Amino acid sequence: MTSQKILVIGSNSFSGSHFVAEALRAGHELWGVSRSLELDSVFLPYRWLEKVSGQPLATPENFHFQTIDLNSQLPELLKLIDLVQPAFVVNFAAQGMVAESWLNPTHWYQTNVVSQVALHDELRQRSFLKKYVHVTTPEVYGSTDAGWISETNHFAPSTPYAVSRAACDLHLLSFHKAYEFPVVFTRAANVYGPGQQLYRIIPRAMLSARTGQPMQLHGGGYSERCFIHIKDAMQATLRLAFEADPGSTWHLSTREPISIRALVEQICGRCGVAFTNVVEETGERLGKDQSYLLDSDSIRKTFGWTDAISLEDGLSDTIAWVDSHLDHLKTLSWSYQHKA
């Protein structure tokens, strides 16, 4: 495929930064925006590309970053968009923490709904836009206790975070119907891999196992999730950006659910420490969904996609990242830091 101009909103996010890396590998030119300055390079995989040998990789010079807050700097973002005229916009920006959304729900609705609607109302008027990829969440469905669900499953969000994401998804569907706005939705299972924020369950468990500092396990860890390696998820996202039909929704998931408890036990075992020495069990989070089981047959059948990285190999990959940066990671915050 010829090189394309892609603008990534939320390029500092875990998924956004890995998407940038995948798109650079494919030879595209990218512009990224996030509300904060670029993160420590340990969390930015597109800064690791030049360290990979044996492949003709694009260099970070093909990536242009700007600090822009969607909540307060929409004019600046639109100025950049009009200057670049990207054919593809991929949006990872969102207030994403579930538990904290109960504490400051207005912040979640402002970022995930109000500011997004303002952006979309401008984007629909840009004729150069071929595709807008909205990276959303399975939490819009609520708990999938009845088993694996398809992309047509009804919404039943159970937290302010999930409600805010569902509201934005419905808004975008209305824009697609009314204006033929070229939106494509992706909903991925729990992504993980090198460079993930340290408060997320997998890197946090690995850091606790390596340092002996205990971690909390809400509700005993009996909720069930599917974990998909970030590389598999972002390769799929890049392909969908170019090839999926506007108005379509796609699930990105493995077919192997695991409880959070079993996952942490597996990490502890691989690190040679006792589960009971690492974990402190606490009460369940408010509104916690028991399971997210996403049927991913659509993308498998339509595009021949498959998740290529097993959980075993993906955990090895992530442990290697933690171990290679452990001294540095010890100096960083392991807790979520909320920004309005």
Domain contains 45: yes
- What confidence tens digit (pLDDT) does each residue in 225-235 have? 999 999 999 99
Contact 299/305 with Cβ under 8 angstroms?
Answer: yes
Count helices and strands (H / E) in the chain: 12, 12
Domain contains 24: yes
Amino acid at 254: T
Query: Which of the residue ranges 19-33, 137-151, 283-297 would you say has the lowest mean pLDDT?
Result: 283-297
Residue 31 reports pLDDT greater than 60: yes
| Per-residue pLDDT, 61 | 82
Contact 192/229 with Cβ under 8 angstroms?
Answer: yes
Q: Could you tell me the residue range of the domain that residue 302 belongs to? A: 5-196+230-255+289-309
| Per-residue pLDDT, 51 | 57
| Per-residue pLDDT, 64 | 97
Domain contains 331: no
In the chain, the number of structural domains is 1
pLDDT band at residue 340 using 50, 70 and 90 as cut-offs: low
pTM (two decimals): 0.95
Averaged pLDDT score across all residues of the chain: 94
pLDDT band at residue 60 using 50, 70 and 90 as cut-offs: confident
| Per-residue pLDDT, 52 | 54
- What confidence tens digit (pLDDT) does each residue in 104-122 have? 999 999 999 999 999 999 9
If you average pLDDT over residues 142-169, what whole number do you get?
Answer: 95
Domain contains 319: no
Residue 75 reports pLDDT greater than 60: yes
How far is 105 from 159, CA to CA, in rounded Å?
A: 9
Domain contains 185: yes
If you average pLDDT over residues 162-166, what whole number do you get?
Answer: 97
Residue 54 reports pLDDT greater than 60: no
Domain contains 29: yes
Domain contains 333: no
How far is 114 from 97, CA to CA, in rounded Å?
A: 18
> In percent, how much of the chain has pLDDT > 90?
87
Query: Which of the residue ranges 13-17, 51-55, 254-258 would you say has the lowest mean pLDDT?
Result: 51-55
191: helix, coil or strand? strand
Residue 169 reports pLDDT greater than 90: yes
Domain contains 119: yes
If you average pLDDT over residues 289-310, what whole number do you get?
Answer: 96
The per-residue DSSP string of 177-221 comes to HHH---EEEEEESEEE-TT--TTSHHHHHHHHHHH---EEEEGGG
Rg (the chain; Cα; Å): 19
Residue 50 reports pLDDT greater than 80: no
> In percent, how much of the chain has pLDDT > 70?
96
How far is 153 from 171, CA to CA, in rounded Å?
A: 17
Contacts of 266 (CB under 8 A, 6+ apart): 258, 315
Residue 196 reports pLDDT greater than 80: yes
- What confidence tens digit (pLDDT) does each residue in 222-264 have? 999 999 999 999 999 999 999 999 999 999 999 999 999 999 9
| Per-residue pLDDT, 214 | 93
| Per-residue pLDDT, 339 | 73
Name the nearest CA neighbour of 23 among 236, 190, 229, 194. Answer: 236
DSSP category for residue 152: T
Looking at residue 246, which CATH number applies to its domain? 3.40.50.720
If you average pLDDT over residues 39-58, what whole number do you get?
Answer: 77
If you average pLDDT over residues 125-146, what whole number do you get?
Answer: 96
If you average pLDDT over residues 138-167, what whole number do you get?
Answer: 95
